Amino acid sequence: MKGRVLVVDDELQILRALKVILREAGFEPVAVATAEEALDAAATRPPDAAIVDLVLPDGDGVAVTEQLRAWSDMPILVLSAVGDEEQKVRALEAGADDYVTKPFGARELVARLGAALRRAGRAADEPAIVVDGLEIDLAARVVRRDGEAVHLTPIEYDLLRTLARNRGRLLTHRALLTEVWGPAYADDVRTLRTHIANLRRKLEPADGEARYIRTDPGVGYRFAG
């Protein structure tokens, strides 16, 4: 088995589907329908990861995420209805690693879960990140694309480093702004978009393909990986 996954959703059909998907992918699902059951199950036998629906009969997924994150670093994915951007942002800022929109595909869910588990297993002092021809040397603060050095401003480098060290994880606008610019800039989305555009111009292929930095409209950005 690849690990135990706590699954929290009050829709029986979705809960059944999640159990089948996870078992077929080699995971051991622990399925519950309420926030209280989720917290009890996690405390009794801590899982390796959790998949939490945002809307539960006795609370919401944001509160569950906050309480799990208070004592655990386990990867947490949230399930969200289409267009529920404000809730997605709340969950991510509460400590969720990613979200999957309903209706979801089995392959996407397993891929997101696998990426979150890989991130959790990586060493924090990783010396370099290499993705599809792009190398970020964290120790030397040097970036190369296809072997050629790429000149970045200090802010651009810090933004890229933050994205890359969380690769595969969706980071909200506020999280990126706070991490790179500081709390005073937490709502300055225009500044963030300008620097993301500059990074893409320097890093992405000329054909405009988003190879490295991907956008989730209204929520934030994620680095490929």
DSSP for 96-137 reads --EEEEES--HHHHHHHHHHHHHHHHS-TT--EEEETTEEEE
Grade residue 208 by pLDDT with cuts at 50, 70 and 90.
Answer: low
Same domain, residue pair 112 and 67: yes
Q: Which of 15-19, 28-32, 101-105, 169-173 has the lowest mean pLDDT?
A: 101-105
Same domain, residue pair 92 and 146: no
CATH of the domain at 215: 1.10.10.10
For residue 123, the model assigns a pLDDT of 47
For residue 106, the model assigns a pLDDT of 93
* pLDDT for residue 50 is more than 70: yes
Work out the mean pLDDT of the chain and round it to a whole number.
90
CATH of the domain at 49: 3.40.50.2300
Same domain, residue pair 79 and 154: no
What tens digit of pLDDT does each residue of 153-180 get?
999 999 999 999 888 889 999 999 999 9
Same domain, residue pair 22 and 100: yes
Residue predicted with more confidence, 197 or 122 = 197
Domain count, the chain: 2
What tens digit of pLDDT does each residue of 99-111 get?
888 888 999 999 9
For residue 225, the model assigns a pLDDT of 64
Same domain, residue pair 41 and 114: yes
For residue 165, the model assigns a pLDDT of 86
Same domain, residue pair 202 and 144: yes
What tens digit of pLDDT does each residue of 62-96 get?
999 999 999 998 999 999 886 678 888 888 999 99
Q: What is the span of the domain harbouring residue 105?
A: 4-121
Could you tell me if 119 and 77 are in contact, meaning their C-beta atoms sit under 8 angstroms apart? no
Answer with the one of 73, 90, 121 that is the final residue of a domain.
121
For residue 224, the model assigns a pLDDT of 84
Grade residue 131 by pLDDT with cuts at 50, 70 and 90.
Answer: confident
Other CB atoms within 10 A of residue 101 CB: 15
Answer with the one of 86, 105, 121 that is the final residue of a domain.
121
Answer with the one of 91, 121, 151 that is the final residue of a domain.
121
Grade residue 28 by pLDDT with cuts at 50, 70 and 90.
Answer: very high
